[in-house]
Amino acid sequence: MKRTAFRLQPVLELRRAQERAAGAAAAEAARAAARSEAQAADVTRSLAAAGLPGRMDGATFVATMVGLRALAADEVDARATARATAEQAEAVRASWTAAAQATKALERLAERHRLAAARAELAAEERAADDVVTGRHGRTRTGEEDTWKD
C-alpha cells in the first residue's frame, strides 16, 4: 500500500532549523550575560579594594576622590549593562521556547499522521484478508450446505 507523505514535513524541517538557530542564539546570549556579570563583579571588587591612603595632602585627596567616583560610575554602568544583557538573554530564551513549542506542535501532528497512516494500512490489510476468506468460503461451499431458506 502506498504510504502517504506528511504534507507539512518541509514546514516541520524549517521549524526544527529555526529552533536550532534560536537555541544557539540563546546560548550565546547566556554566555554574553555571564561575561557581562563577571565584568561587573570585577569592577565591584576593584571598587571594594580601592582605599584611601592614611595621610595625604589636598591635591592627593581630590585626585583619590575623583578616581573613586569614576570607579563607582564604572560600577553603576557595568551593573546596568549586566542587567540589560540578562534581560536580553531572557528575551532570546523566550523566543527559543516559542520556537520549540511551534516545533513540538508540528511534531505531534506528524506523529498523528504517522499513526493514522498505520491504522489505514492495517485496516486495508484486514479488508484484503477478509476478502480472501470470504472469496475462499464462496468457492469451497459444497452441495450439502444449504443456505438459510424461508
C-alpha cell at 99: 520556537
The model's confidence at residue 69, banded by pLDDT at 50, 70 and 90, is very high
Boundaries of domain holding 74: 9-107
Q: What is the pLDDT of residues 38-61, one digit of tens each?
A: 999 999 998 888 877 778 888 888
Q: Which of 108, 70, 71 is nearest to 100 (CA)?
A: 108
Residue whose C-alpha cell is 570607579: 71
Q: What is the pLDDT of residues 96-138, one digit of tens each?
A: 999 999 999 999 999 999 999 999 999 988 888 887 777 666 6
Q: How far apart are the first and last CA of the chain?
A: 43
In-domain check, residue 62: yes
In-domain check, residue 112: no
In this predicted structure, what is the pLDDT of residue 95? 95
Calculate the average pLDDT of the chain. 87
In this predicted structure, what is the pLDDT of residue 57? 87
In-domain check, residue 69: yes
In-domain check, residue 25: yes
In-domain check, residue 13: yes
The CB density around residue 97, as the number of other CB atoms within 10 Å, is: 14
In this predicted structure, what is the pLDDT of residue 49? 84
Q: Which residues of 24-62 are buried (b: 16+ CB within 10 A; e: fewer)?
A: ebbeebbeebeebbebbeebbeeeeeeeeeeeeeeeeee
Residues 6+ apart with CB under 8 A from 121: 1, 3
In-domain check, residue 23: yes
In-domain check, residue 29: yes
d(CA 45, CA 139) in angstroms, rounded, equals 96
| Number of domains forming the structure of the chain | 1
In this predicted structure, what is the pLDDT of residue 39? 94
Q: Could you tell me the pTM of the whole model? A: 0.66
Helix (H, G, I), strand (E, B) or coil at 146: coil
C-alpha cell at 144: 450439502
The CB density around residue 142, as the number of other CB atoms within 10 Å, is: 5
In-domain check, residue 124: no
